[in-house]
Structures are given as structure tokens and as C-alpha cells.
Structure 1
Amino acid sequence: MNRTGSLYEPGNSLFHRLDGAVKLCLFAIWTILTFLFLDLRVFGVMLALGVILLVTAGIPFKRIAFLFWIMIIFTVLNSVFIVLITPTFGTRLTGTNTPLIPLGYNTINAETLFYVLTLSAKYLTLLPITLLCIFTTQPSEFAASLNRIGIPYKIAYAVSIALRYIPELTAEFRSTLHSMQARGMGISKEDGKLMQRFRNLSAVVVPVLQSALHRIDSVTNAMELRGFGTQKRRTWYSGKDMKSLDWMMIGVSVLLFGLGLWLRLKGLGPYWFPF
């Protein structure tokens, strides 16, 4: 967590200079294009572009490591479950069957493995753009941008508070967990059976949730004392006007969206199997 108490990582990259509303527009178009296709070639290009943008943003890996590994673990587990539960699912998409790995009750074929690879690439394609939007946008600036594009400022401010307090809750969870571990109540395999570890984890989660609720109550009272919500409109300290770079990126994103739709209509969208 940086000194601003948010996930924002200061920098001067392309994404750092973009307006929050533009980043939201790019994220929406990127997500639509990702779910519009089921083609590994398309995902390979999008993933490479996303990784390049993420690297040029200069965000330290230790800042994004937690979300990165969560996505990797989710993708791996999802792939394993698909392969074990439906080892011949790829045959439904291709009409061919190339047995590879016997399981006893069935045989995993090459079609299913390639489908799992394609699906994993689909999920991972969303990772770089998501990390960019989270770690290159100040919460207050993002809220001001949301309000400027028509979202009620109450909702925009709620999003800003959520982004600001997620790192604090994470740090408090870790601090509480370390305190419990110092008292011999860990959650690793060496600390007892599964149910015992689950009870130990509950003993950590409950006080953190109570602290979060207390913080929500304090923030709500402070906002009410300052008359938040009494006016139809409000000004923003971090609000900025859109610059030429923002309009240019909007134009580029619209062109990419149009290109994606054109490729989809030309038949590039359905599942692609090279063999």
C-alpha cells in the first residue's frame, strides 16, 4: 500500500496520464472483445499487447503479485476441473477425438487440452488491463470521471471509498493473522486439521469484519455531518478535463472495437482448433 492509502501506484506512463473514464471505456471494450472470441490467436495478440502495456506502466511486481497469483490459481484450478470432469469435452467442439492421457474412467484427448489452453488464455487476457486500471488510477480521480460520464456522484463516491479502503483491510487482515499466529492459532497444514484451521481463520476474519463495519459507520457519520448527498451535484478536488490524448485513445478503442466486430462477422470468432 502506498502513502495515499490506496492501490494507486504513481507513474507517468500512458495509462497513468489517461482520464479515469477513458480507462473504464477501454476496459469495457477490452472485456467485450475478449468474450466475443474463442480463438487462441486473438487471445495471444491481446495478451501480448496487455503485457506490453503493463510492463511500460512500471508497476512493481510485488504490488500486483497478490492479484496476479489469485488469477493464476483460479485459472489452473478451473483447467484441472474441466480436464478431470469432462476429459473429452473438446470433441463436442471439433468432432474429432485424439486420445492422449488415460484416466481409468476416461481418456483426456488433445482437443480438450487445447480447449483448456484457449479458455485459460481468455481469462488471462483480462488480467493486464484489469491491473492497469486498478493500479494507475487514483480513487478520487476515478470517481470524478465516473460522475462526469453520467453516473450519480453517490455511486461514484462509494466506488472511490471501496478502492481506497481495500488495501487497509488487507493490511489489517495480515496484521490480525500474524497476531493470531504468534498465539499459536495458524491456518497452515502444521496447525491442525482442516476444521481447526477453519476455526482459526474465522477467528481472524470476524474481528476484521467488525473493524470494517465500525469504519463504515464512522465514515457514514462523518459524511452525514458534512451534508453529503443533500445537493444534486458536487465538485471534485481531483476532477480533470479530458485532454487530446484521452480523445485519441477513445478513437483508437472505438476503431479496435469496430475491427473486432468486423472480424467476428467474417467468421473469426468461433472456436479455433488448428488440427
Structure 2
Amino acid sequence: MSKSGMLYVDKDTLFHRMDGAAKLIVFAVWTVIVFLFQDLRVFVPLFAIGLILLFLAQIPYKRIRLLVWIMVVFNLFNSIFTLLITPSYGSEVTGTATVVLDLGYNVLTLETCFYVLTLTMKYMSLMPITVLFIFTTHPTRFASSLNRIGVPYKIAYAFNIAFRYVPDLQTEFRNISNAMQARGMGFGKGEGSMRDRVKHFISIAIPLVQSSLHRIEVVSNAMDLRGFGRHQKRTWYSATAWRRADYIIAALSVVAILAAIAVRLSGFGRFWYPFS
């Protein structure tokens, strides 16, 4: 978290100089392309390109480590649950069955393993562009750019608050966790059974929700006292104008989504299984 309480990392790269609305277009197009296909041959190149773009953005790994691990853990649990609950689903998709393991209640097939790998890369291909968008976009400038392209400023300001509130939520979680540890609750390895540690983490939810509701009330009252929403339009202290690079990237994004739709309509992009 930055000193200003934001996830934004201040650097002088192409991604930081881009207008927030242009980056939103890229993010939206990237997401649509990912969900248009179910092909590992699409997801691996997208993931590789995303990692290159993330490297070029010069974002320190220690700043994005938590978000990356959350996405990795989510994918890990999603893969395990898919393999355990529907171990033969891949065979239903491909029409072939190569048994890898007999689970008793069902059989795990090679087709399902490949399907889970494809699904994992589908989600992982979204990780670099998501991190890039979050950590290179200044909340206020992003809100102003949304308002400039026609989004009502109340909705745009909601995005601004959401971007700023995530680091505060992390800080609040850490404070509550430290307070509970001072009272003898264990959260780390060796400080109780896994069940007890999970219960302790769940117990953080109640005070976290209460403090969040209190913070929302404070912000809401402050905005009401300043007359937020009284006028049809508003000005922005921090704003960016579209540059040539923004127009070029937005145009390339439109071309990319049109090409992706055309390729998908041609029949390419369904679940690809190389061993059938």
C-alpha cells in the first residue's frame, strides 16, 4: 500500500501515462476475449503477453504480492474442487475417457485434468491485466476520465472511493488481527490447529464489517455536508486528457475485439483437447 493510502504505484511508464478510460477499454476488451474462448492455445499467449506488460510497468513485486497470491490460491482451490466434484466432466466435453485414477464414487480422467488446466489458465490470463489496471490507475484521474466519456459523476466517484477503500480495508483487517493476537488468538502456523485458525480468521469478519459500515457512514455524512450530488455536473481537481497513444491503443483494442469475435464465429476457440 502506498503512503497515500492507495494501491496506485507512481511511475513514469506508458501505462501510468495512459488515460484511465483508455485502460478500462483495454481491460474490458481483454476480459471479453478471455471469456470468448475455451482454448489453452489462446490463454497461454495472453498470459505471457500480460506478464511482459506487467514487467514493463515496473511495479514492485512486493506491492502486488498479496493480490497475486489471492488469485493463485483461488485458482488452486477452484481446480481441486472441480477435480473432486466433477472428476469426469472433461470426458463429457470431449467424448473420450482416459482414466487416471479411480476415486471410488467416480473416476478421474485425463480429459478432466486438461480441462482444469485450461480453466486455470483462463483465470490466470486475467491476472496480469487486472494487476496492471489496478496499480497503474490513479483513482481520481480514473473517475474524472469516466465522467468525461459520459459516465455520471456519482457513479464515477463510486469507483474512486472503491479504489481508495481497498487499502483501508486491508489496514483495518491487519489492525483487528493484531488486536486479536494480543488477546491470545493464534493465526500463524504452530499457533493452534487449522480448524482453530480458520475460526479465528472468520471471527475477524464481524468487527471488520462493523468498522466498514462506520467508515461508510462517516464518508457519506461528509459528502452530504459538502453538498455532493446537488449539481448536475462537477469539476475535477485531477484529470488527464487523451493523448495520441490513448487513441491508438483504444483503436487497437476495438480491432482486437472485432477480430476475436470473427475468429470465434468461425468455429475456433471451443474446448481444445490435443489427445483426442
Could you tell me the TM-score, scaled by structure 2's length?
0.93
Gaps of 5+ in 1: none
Shift of the 163–266 alpha-carbon distance from structure 1 to 2, 3 Å rule, reads same
State yes or no: 1:116 paired with 2:116: yes
Deviations 1:225-251 (A, max 9, x none): 221111000011111211101000001
Structure 2 equivalent of residue 35 of structure 1: 35
Structure 2 equivalent of residue 69 of structure 1: 69
Alpha-carbon separation, structure 2, partners of 1:79 and 1:180: 32
Moved more, 176-185 or 187-196: 187-196
Deviations 1:93-133 (A, max 9, x none): 11111112232333221111111111111111111111111
Q: CA deviation at 1:144?
A: 0.6
Alpha-carbon separation, structure 2, partners of 1:114 and 1:203: 38
Q: CA deviation at 1:50?
A: 0.7
Deviations 1:159-183 (A, max 9, x none): 1112112102211211221121122
Match of 1:58, SS state, is coil
Moved more, 214-223 or 131-140: 214-223
Match of 1:108, SS state, is strand
Q: 2:234 is matched by which residue type in structure 1?
A: R
Q: CA deviation at 1:206?
A: 3.0
Structure 1 equivalent of residue 141 of structure 2: 141
Shift of the 143–91 alpha-carbon distance from structure 1 to 2, 3 Å rule, reads same
Shift of the 225–70 alpha-carbon distance from structure 1 to 2, 3 Å rule, reads same
- The 5-angstrom pairing of residues 38-117 of structure 1 reads 38-117=38-117
Q: CA deviation at 1:199?
A: 5.6
- The 5-angstrom pairing of residues 160-199 of structure 1 reads 160-188=160-188, 190-192=190-192, 197=197
Structure 2 equivalent of residue 269 of structure 1: 269
Moved more, 192-201 or 47-56: 192-201
Deviations 1:43-98 (A, max 9, x none): 11111111110111111111111111111111111111111122211111111111
Could you tell me the TM-score, scaled by structure 1's length?
0.94
Alpha-carbon separation, structure 2, partners of 1:109 and 1:197: 35
Shift of the 193–26 alpha-carbon distance from structure 1 to 2, 3 Å rule, reads same
Deviations 1:209-233 (A, max 9, x none): 3332222222222222221111000
Q: 1:134 is matched by which residue type in structure 2?
A: I
Alpha-carbon separation, structure 2, partners of 1:254 and 1:162: 27
- The 5-angstrom pairing of residues 147-158 of structure 1 reads 147-158=147-158
Match of 1:100, SS state, is strand
Alpha-carbon separation, structure 2, partners of 1:136 and 1:6: 11
Q: CA deviation at 1:197?
A: 4.5
Alpha-carbon separation, structure 1, partners of 2:262 and 2:57: 30
After superposition, the CA RMSD in angstroms is 1.8
Shift of the 113–147 alpha-carbon distance from structure 1 to 2, 3 Å rule, reads same
Alpha-carbon separation, structure 2, partners of 1:113 and 1:203: 36
Q: 2:10 is matched by which residue type in structure 1?
A: P
Structure 2 equivalent of residue 231 of structure 1: 231
Q: Percent identity?
A: 52
Aligned length, in residue pairs: 275
Q: CA deviation at 1:135?
A: 0.4
Gaps of 5+ in 2: none
Shift of the 202–79 alpha-carbon distance from structure 1 to 2, 3 Å rule, reads closer
Q: 2:174 is matched by which residue type in structure 1?
A: R
